[in-house]
Amino acid sequence: MTEHDITEISIKNGETEIELKRLGAATVVQTAMMPAAPAPAAAQPPAPAVPDQDAGLVPIRSPMVGTFYAATDPDSPPYVTIGSQIVEETVVCIVEAMKVFNEIKADVRGTVEKVMVSNLEGVDFGQPLFMVRRQ
């Protein structure tokens, strides 16, 4: 480019585009690939219906970002486990945020069917912690 005093060149080949620009003594190279059009999908028979095991389950979500604690301390049993019967006021876990330990209540009546996070795991706002079959 310098030898022929070219400051800009653009090359297109199908869906590939290469653009070179010379800025002073430096040369800038940009390459852009256009996404290929998706291939037409072959006709496939529909997948057999599988019952959704989560159908009818209600999540208990984290109200904040923090660290999930299943129990008050490492030597204590977890607040709830799979099969635990809970009511709205049942404390199901603790979420620690900024050194404050917040008890999380169920706010639903039912049976704990799934525990979605592990002890000491970081959780996000709105992340499901437990799945409950409502009664």
Spatial CB neighbours of 110, under 8 Å, sequence gap ≥ 6: 58, 85, 86, 132, 133, 134, 135
**Model pLDDT for residues 33-68, shown as the tens digit of each residue:** 555 556 555 555 555 554 556 678 999 999 999 999
Q: How far is CA 117 from CA 43, 72, 127, 129, in A?
A: 39, 16, 9, 6
Distance CA 18, CA 5 (A): 19
* R_g over Cα of the chain: 28
Q: Above 80 in pLDDT, residue 95?
A: yes
pTM recorded for the entire structure:
0.61
User: Domains along the chain?
Assistant: 1-35 (no CATH), 58-134 (2.40.50.100)
**Model pLDDT for residues 79-88, shown as the tens digit of each residue:** 999 999 999 9
